[in-house]
Structure 1
Amino acid sequence: MKKRLFSILIALMGLSLLGIIVVQIFWIQTNLSNRDRQFSLSVNNALAAVSEQIKERELRDYISATQKIMDSLGSPKASQLTEVFQYIDRSTIDNKTLLVSRGIIEDSYGIFPELFDPASSDSTPILDYRSVKATTFLEEDVEGTIDRMSVSERIERIERLSSMDKAKYESIFMDIAATKVIEKRVSTFELELLLGQELLLRDIDVGFEFRVFEGNRMSSLGTDQFLQNINKTTYRMPLFVDENGLSKYELRLIFLEKTAFLRSSVFSSIALSVLFTVVLITVFAITFFQALKQKKISDIKTDFINNMTHEFKTPIATIQLALDALGTSAIAKQPNKVTQYLSLIRDESRRMNTQVENVLQISRLDRRELELTTTLIDPHTAINTAIEHVRLLVDQREGKLNVSLDPMQIKLPISESHMTNVWVNLLENAIKYSDDIVEIDLITSVTNEAFTVTVKDKGIGMSNNVKRKVFNRFYRQESGDIHTVKGHGLGLSYVKRIVELHNGTIYVKSQLKKGSTFTVRFPLKHKL
């Protein structure tokens, strides 16, 4: 994938993720806003219900007290028939026309408003009302006359009669109650009880404070913590509204933990939204880093192919030149030259075969198909073989290879061929990544716990970033021309895998321009 297209895709994915996050935040804010409006509506309905219940309770108290007094006085002192009205009905049994007459009788027991309020100057007695009914059979011509009464007039009279039980005392007692102070009409306990009940009916279970005000004057009715939280959102509702819809009292309500309650009420939806957003961000991050990793692997593989091509190009050209030389008659007549060129072809062919074999071994290691055939031998055997293999390379660089082998004889189950390759790779790396002066120390030690091999050089060293990646497959330290140091980035990956298959460990210490130290450690199953 081209770098520009890759960058565009990453940018589009990032913008999409950012857009989803913004939409999620907007949805959460909208959800909280809607819940706040619903909360306010429920609170106002609860306050209205409390106000109506208090008003009805007060009216019932006055009516009950009046009825008790009337019952104790016995018969009324005076009665008067009022509000006589008639309407036409028809018998369902014999289909005859009936004239139904209704009337209201006012009974006076001599009860005056001053009985409830001594300061009252109203001398109008409180009356009780009873309804009476009479039925008369009518002739057809009378029915026609009565039938001329308007429908609205009949309905009005019937409604007045049916609501009379409630309305007959209401206006009187409202005037009486209005003369009393608010503390005489309702208590803090009643308000708190009714508010709690109405709020719970609407699923509002949160602490609240309230106070009753007369205009801007605060009454003694309410909770003590109201003033300390007066800066919070206040809900208001008038109390004891008169016939004109006016009231001088107002119930004010606040909630201590409104914000926390609103958030808890939508917590599940917010939590799921946050969870899915986090999952989406995580997936995006994983995808992003995997894409970067794959791109890097692709670059590394391309570099590997280029290096392999470079490694094969020289021996192939050498073989081609040797074959061309052998094809000439002058060389064919010189047996020494023929032998020399054939040896050159054999060496270069063996070199290419070694490169291919290394790649195949790494592939088999990745697929877990490589089987090690181990033999219980002295580990120094493979080390000595590797030293002989690289001795010529050190001499060509006019360097030093200082070897210090522990004299204690031990035996370990190892694959001699693979372990030889391990030491060859480590020594060749020390040679390749040394500057003009090649100086390598190879030290072995045998302790009661383990057999340890250290390969130390004084070469270019590695940064911390390189140390973390040095055992990765195809990884090569880049510095200027990538082909300055030949290789495929497979050697140390192969070394680490072989060491691990022998139950060993390998780690590296390095500093830039001071050299590197590779330490391989094999635990001893049986202590010495």
Structure 2
Amino acid sequence: MKKRSLWLITGLMTVALLGVFVMQLYYIRQAYNLNSQLFEQDVNQALNAVVTKVQKRNAALHISRKDRQMELERKAEVQDQAKQLVEYKDRFKEEAQKRVLERQRLIVADLNQTDLEIRKSYANPILISEDEFRAASDLGNPNKSPVHVDVNVGLDAFGNVVAGQIKSTFVQERPKLFNVAQTKLPDSIHYLAVDPGTGKNVLISVRTVSAELERKFILEDNLAKRKYDEGLKRLMSDTIPMKPGADILLQDVAKEMRDANVPLSKMIAKDVLDTLIKKELLNRNITLKYDFWVGLAQKDSLVYRKAANTTGELLPKNTYKATLFNSVIRDPGMLYLYFPNKNSLIFANLSVTMASSAGLLLVLIFIFAYTIYTILRQKKISEMKTDFINNMTHEFKTPVATIMIASEALKDPEIVADKSRISRLAGIIYDENVRLGNHIERVLSIARLEKKELKLEHKEVNIHDLITAVVDSMNLQLQKKNARVTLNLEALQPVILGDELHLSNVFYNLVDNANKYSSENPKITITTRNTDKALHIEIADEGIGMTKEHSKRIFDQFYRVPTGNLHDVKGFGLGLNYVQDIIEQMNGSIKVQSEKDKGTTFEINLPLNHNHSK
């Protein structure tokens, strides 16, 4: 398959896989949205049912209490009526007394102001009683007047008046002070003073209550009387019992107004609300953990909350709300319901859909990956088989060409006459036939191993003796490259059950590779030792080595480590695959450790099981 075709197939399969993935995501998202809508519908229905039950329960409680409340209210109204009337009259009397005291304060303040003005205008003003005022006013009886006049005149030597002083003295019957009784005030206040202009005594009379204050007091009395009558009338009208056939709307409005200041926490208990919510959710097969709280609708205020662990924003995600009461005057209140694990329920409902989608997607990914892997593997195997055929053709052509040349030489009369040359040519033909047969046998052995048709013998084999024999048989081949083989045969139990022929081929392949893949003067070390129930064999060299990428594939059939355009090392790429198959059929294991330009080590473990069935 061409590289361009491979990339085209890969691209088309990738597009198809992405398309399936996108479609699966789209359907899962649609299913999630549908389940979310159904969940929200169920929750909203549950909230509406809870609100309806709360309102009906509140109304039923109100109706059941209505008759008793009305009876109690009627009794209380009768008692309150008498009490309010008494309190109202007592309150009116108290206000009247306060007005009297306030009037006296105003009168005294006004008299004090008048007294101050008189003292500024007249000399030596004296506050006198009503009797004294009348006596001082009686000019026809000076002997009874309390005013005495003293005249002092100064004369000179000629009898002329040069100085004089007239002094008027008011003689009170008893000392008097300016005092106004708190219970009763006189109509007038009287003064006796000296006129600064004439020096004569004058009598001054002042009204206790001025005309302005008198008008003010009359207006206050009239206003107080009117307020008293109106309040008494209103109080009497408020206590009239309500007739049985009163307007229902008026009662509802009155109730709503009475409940305007009742807290929401008093109108519905938290435990009762929790029970109603749980029951409605269970009726709709919702068993999720939830939190709820009640708040005011017209402002951000919390009334109560079920759980105190709800933090974050005021309305977190997955929160639903409904109005608690149908009220115009008071705050109707809001019921909030929060589900912290809403997504878990929705995804649980989608578990079958998501599992099937994920399974289908994984199957498609596996098929896609396996298809690409198979295509690449087949492409690589095709390339390796092509190399194998080329190598096999080259390996077969060499002995065939040699045999053909030797056969043609035998037809030459001169060569036929020389027996030594005939013998040498016959030996060449025999050796090339053996070489050609070995190649054929190796390919056939691999084919039999793949089909499990190769039957191995199981008899006791001394690995030390076998390794020594293989190294001896390869002596000439090793000497050509000046190879040095070091044997560290330290295993105490070197005898295993196995096939001696195939094991010798295994060691031959490994030693031959160590010799071929060393640049010059190969150094090969073979070590044996015993481990737990196994014989451990290491064949190490200091050759060219290989990278980790090549070492992972070294046991693949037809695989050969690429060496560029150089073909100095011949082979089919079947040797190490043959080695692995033989070792595994003997219940052993083989692995390789290699580093570029530092050498390679093959490690073989064969079981020490002498009771193994043949």
TM-score (norm 1): 0.73
1:515: Cα distance to partner?
1.9
Matches within 5 A, 1:44-55: 44-55=44-55
Q: How do residues 335-414 of structure 1 correspond to structure 2 at under 5 angstroms?
A: 335-403=419-487, 411-414=495-498
Aligned 1:282-297 pairs, distance under 5 A: 282-297=366-381
Distance 1:332 1:275, change over 3 A: same
Tell me the CA shift for residue 377 of structure 1.
4.9
| Counterpart contact for 1:209–1:226, Cα < 8 Å | no
Please point out which of 322, 340, 364 is paired with 1:237. Answer: 322
Once the two structures are superposed, the pairs formed by residues 340-489 of structure 1 within 5 Å of their partners are: 340-403=424-487, 411-443=495-527, 451-481=535-565, 483-489=567-573
The Cα of 1:61 is off from its aligned counterpart by: 3.1
- Number of aligned residue pairs: 440
Q: Quick one: distance in 2 between partners of 1:474 and 1:49?
A: 78
- The aligned runs of 1:70-89 (5 Å cut-off) are none
Shift of 1:357: 0.5
Aligned to 2:592: 508
Q: Which sits farther off after the overlay, 226-235 or 27-36?
A: 226-235
Q: Secondary structure at the match of 2:346?
A: helix
Confirm or deny that 1:59 pairs with 2:141: no
Pair 1:312 & 2:312 matched = no
Residue 279 of structure 1, CA deviation: 3.6
Deviations 1:211-231 (A, max 9, x none): 131411525354363873524
Gap change, CA 1:386 and 1:214, over 3 Å in 2: closer
The 8 Å contact of residues 451 and 521 in structure 1, kept in 2 or not, is answered as: yes
* Fraction of identical pairs, as percent: 32
Native 8 Å contact 1:301 1:474 kept in 2: yes
Q: Report if the CA contact (8 A) 1:379-1:414 is conserved.
A: no
Q: Distance in 1 between matches of 2:240 and 2:410?
A: 145
Partners of 2:491 and 2:528 within 8 A in 1: no
Q: Aligned equivalents of 1:249 and 1:196: distance in 2?
A: 20
Is structure 2 residue 326 aligned with structure 1 residue 266? no
User: Which stretch shows the higher mean deviation, 174-183 or 218-227?
Assistant: 218-227
- Structure 1 residue 443 displacement after superposition: 4.7
For 1:200, what is the secondary structure of its paired residue? helix
Structure 1's 264 and 428: CA in aligned 2 closer, same or farther, altered over 3 A?
same
Contact 1:63 1:169 in 2 (8 A): no
Higher Cα radius of gyration: 2
1:177 positional shift? 3.3
CA distance in 2, matches of 1:517, 1:2: 37
The change in CA–CA distance for 1:260 and 1:404 in structure 2 (over 3 A counts) is closer
Q: Give the alignment partner of residue 292 of structure 2, picking from 209, 222, 225.
A: 209
CA distance in 1, matches of 2:324, 2:240: 24
- Which deviates more, 517-526 or 191-200? 517-526
Superposition RMSD in Å: 3.5
Deviation at 1:450, TM superposition (A): 5.4
Whether 1:197 aligns to 2:270 is no
Sort the Cα spacing of 1:221 and 1:376 in 2 relative to 1 into closer, same or farther, 3 A. Answer: closer
What is the CA–CA distance in structure 1 between the aligned matches of 2:269 and 2:354, rounded to whole Å?
41
Distance 1:286 1:348, change over 3 A: same
Q: Unmatched 5+ residue regions in structure 2?
A: 73-237
Distance 1:328 1:440, change over 3 A: same
Which residue identity is paired with 1:469?
R
CA contact (8 A) 2:534 2:605 kept: yes
**SS of match in other structure, 2:403:** helix
Distance 1:396 1:69, change over 3 A: closer
Contact kept? 1:212, 1:218, Cα under 8 Å: yes
Q: Contact 1:444–1:451 at 8 Å: present in 2 too?
A: yes
Q: Does 1:255 align with 2:339?
A: yes
- Judge which range, 232-241 or 339-348, deviates more: 232-241
For residues 403 and 509 of structure 1, the distance between their equivalents in structure 2, rounded to whole angstroms, comes to 19
SS at match of 2:245: strand
The one-letter code sitting in structure 1 at the alignment partner of 2:355 is A
Say if 1:385 and 1:16 are closer, same or farther in 2 by CA, change over 3 A.
Answer: same
Distance 2:251 2:338 in 1: 34
Residue 67 of structure 1 and its aligned partner are, at CA, apart by 6.3
Superposed CA offset, 1:464-487 (max 9, x none): 233222222222111213633111
Counterpart CA distance in 2 for 1:516 and 1:447 is 22
Moved more, 440-449 or 249-258: 440-449
CA contact (8 A) 1:463 1:510 kept: yes
Closer/same/farther in 2, CA of residues 265 and 349 from structure 1, 3 Å limit: same
Q: What is the deviation of 1:446?
A: 7.2
Alpha-carbon spacing, 1:200–1:125, altered in 2? closer, same or farther (3 Å) = farther
Look up the match of 1:29.
Answer: 29
CA contact (8 A) 2:321 2:337 kept: yes
Q: What TM-score, normalized to structure 2?
A: 0.63
CA distance in 1, matches of 2:441, 2:601: 27
Name the CA distance, whole Å, in 1 between partners of 2:498 and 2:307: 86
Question: In the alignment, what sits opposite 2:387?
Answer: 303
Shift of 1:453: 4.2
Aligned counterpart, 1:147 = none
Per the alignment, residue 86 of structure 1 pairs with: none
Q: Give the direction of change, closer, same or farther, for the CA distance of 1:219–1:380 in structure 2 (3 Å limit).
A: closer
Select between 362-371 and 297-306 the one with higher mean Cα deviation: 297-306
Output the CA distance in 1 between the equivalents of 2:541 and 2:37: 75
Q: How far 1:315 sits from its partner (Å)?
A: 1.5
Partner of 1:116: none
- Give the distance between the partners of 2:435 and 2:569, measured in 1 at CA: 17
Q: Distance in 2 between matches of 1:232 and 1:122?
A: 53
Distance 1:245 1:353, change over 3 A: farther
2:256/2:330 contact within 8 Å kept: no
User: Which has the higher mean CA deviation after the structures are superposed, 231-240 or 362-371?
Assistant: 231-240
Partner of 1:144: none
Separation (CA, whole Å) in 1 of partners of 2:361 and 2:257: 60
Change (3 A) 1:440 1:193: closer
Question: Of the candidates 416, 426, 431, which is equivalent to residue 332 of structure 1?
Answer: 416
How far apart, in 1, do the equivalents of 2:354 and 2:531 lie?
Answer: 61
